[in-house]
Amino acid sequence: MNPATASVQTGAPATPSWLGTRQVDMGNFPSCAVPCITATCPDFDINCICGTGFHGIDEKRSQCIIDSCGFPVSLPARNLIATACGAPIRNQTPRFNIMLVILLGFTFLFILLRLVFKQFFSSRRRLGIDDWVIVVKSLVGLPCVAVLIFGLGANGLGKDVWTLKPDEVAAFSRYFYIMEMLYLVILTLVRLSVTLFYLEIFPSKTARRLLWGTAIFHVASGVAFVVKVVFQCWPISFNWTIYTEVHSQGHCVNISASSWANAGIGVAADLWLLAIPLFQLKKLDLHWKKKVGAALMFLAGATGTVVSILRLGSLHHFADTINPTWERYGIVWWSAIEVQAGMMCTCLPAARAILVHFWPHVFGTGFQPRSRGSTEPTSEPFSSQSRLEEGQGMVVGSRCNSMIGKTSTRDSSYPVSPINHQGIWQGLETAMPELKEEAQEESAETMEITIQLDDKDHRAHI
């Protein structure tokens, strides 16, 4: 059979019904790609070329065409084969845009609730440093949205690469390169804002040391991976010229390995941020229902971690791909969800607090701080003014307990009692944003207490 007129007639027994009368347009078929076809289909038999599923066969054949002709020349060859085989036209861009717009709406609402509550309804009536990190993160997110919709989406995201022009593929690669950096910056800010939030609500020295170390780690790892992305290929333009120039010269590091490393570190960091507050809750003297409520609030942040784990499956085609606009759709999809979920999770405490503020009987927990003689629950929401109703006696920090336990047997008349953590942590699950003010006030009130024992002053530093 003459390859220039390769065709198949409808009704041939071996021809799949979806082929119909097809032929490869050999007049426009690149000669450099012919050996890749004839190696397995000597007579350019359309049944052999198309098989029973075009996309599965194309994976093996296309790599040969790319190696022989270069990526830009391979596109028309692959397009001609796909057309002859009647391959379905795939387009996931509309689905992606709908998902992104819906999540953006929810993210904007959550951020607005957080900032409005902190500025107008919290006891401080001002934004904290973690809130300003959220603001910066939102500003970085604006160009991120533009890149996703008008950069990646407009240049073939979710489409087969052979349906595009080389310039469109190059533009897609440029925007994908930019998106990699924005993604790393935003996730670093997400984790940093959570860490700063914990720094203000957990006053213990051990917790604060861990959290400061965590914050430094987030910043250092974020900067390191951003620098890696910037210089992952040299020259930098090789990130996209590989799709436009037949003999593009350049080299890249093992992008797949570094991407897996970044994703693995990110999941570990998320789990660490979940473990810190849960470990702190375990040590508090709170009613079990309050601990459960607080734990559920912190565990809501696990949503972002679950998405991060699901995103790992999309890294398989991150770097080594012959169909970048289609195979990178998964990683862009899950990365967008991961970023939006992370931003919403950081705003959940404030969102609940504002709901409790306006509808306490609906969203309240049904518990209120109790004095030493009170045992009855109430439906009223937590009031920060009542958190210091600790009863009679001096409040001493838990760090002093070992000293007091050894010396108080000498004279039991001293009004010394262990610290009641409930006074600091009361209302955790309903007013987490307010916990910052309470922790700081409590720490200031009990920072240094003088205990008179055996005519000597023993200072207890809380």
pLDDT digit string (tens) for 60-83?
788 899 999 999 999 999 998 888
Q: What is the pLDDT of residues 116-169, one digit of tens each?
A: 888 888 777 888 888 999 999 999 999 999 999 999 999 999 999 999 999 999
CB-neighbour burial class of residue 359 (10 A; exposed 0-12, middle 13-18, buried 19+): exposed
SS3 251: strand
Read off the DSSP letter of residue 433: G
Helix (H) or strand (E) holding 398: none
pLDDT level of residue 363 (50, 70, 90 thresholds):
low
8 Å CB contact between 236 and 230: yes
According to the model, what pLDDT value does residue 378 have? 41
Q: Rounded CA gap, 223 and 288, in Å?
A: 41
311 CB neighbour count, 10 Å cutoff:
20
8 Å CB contact between 48 and 40: yes
According to the model, what pLDDT value does residue 152 have? 97
β-partners of residue 234 are 251
Q: Rounded CA gap, 329 and 331, in Å?
A: 6
Handedness of CA 203, 205, 207, 213 (dihedral sign): positive
Q: Rounded CA gap, 238 and 432, in Å?
A: 48
Q: Which of 150, 192, 198, 193 is nearest to 172 (CA)?
A: 150
According to the model, what pLDDT value does residue 55 have? 64
457 CB neighbour count, 10 Å cutoff:
8
Q: Where are the domains of the chain?
A: 31-85, 92-359
Q: Give the pair of three-digit tokens for residue 430.
A: 């309903």
Q: Rounded CA gap, 32 and 248, in Å?
A: 17
Residue ranges of the alpha helices (H) in 204-358?
Answer: 205-230, 238-241, 255-282, 288-299, 302-311, 324-327, 329-358
8 Å CB contact between 390 and 420: yes
Left if phi > 0, otherwise alpha if psi is -120 to 50, otherwise beta: which for 393?
left
88 or 412, greater pLDDT: 88
According to the model, what pLDDT value does residue 157 have? 97
pLDDT level of residue 364 (50, 70, 90 thresholds):
low
Q: Give the pair of three-digit tokens for residue 424.
A: 């600091």
263 CB neighbour count, 10 Å cutoff:
20
pLDDT at 48 over 90: no
Only one residue has tokens 């973690």, namely 130
pLDDT at 304 over 90: no
Residues 6 or more apart in contact with residue 379 via CB below 8 angstroms: 360, 361, 364, 366
Residue ranges of the alpha helices (H) in 128-237?
Answer: 129-146, 166-201, 205-230
According to the model, what pLDDT value does residue 8 have? 35
According to the model, what pLDDT value does residue 369 have? 42
Helix (H) or strand (E) holding 416: strand 416-418
Where is mean pLDDT largest: 13-17, 113-117, 265-269, 445-449?
Answer: 265-269
Q: Quick one: angle between helices 129-146 and 166-201, nearest 10?
A: 170
pLDDT at 262 over 60: yes
Whole-model pTM: value is 0.73
CB-neighbour burial class of residue 240 (10 A; exposed 0-12, middle 13-18, buried 19+): buried
Across 428-439, average pLDDT = 43
SS3 159: strand
Task: Reply yes or no on domain 92-359 having CATH 1.20.1070.
Answer: yes
Q: Rounded CA gap, 160 and 156, in Å?
A: 8
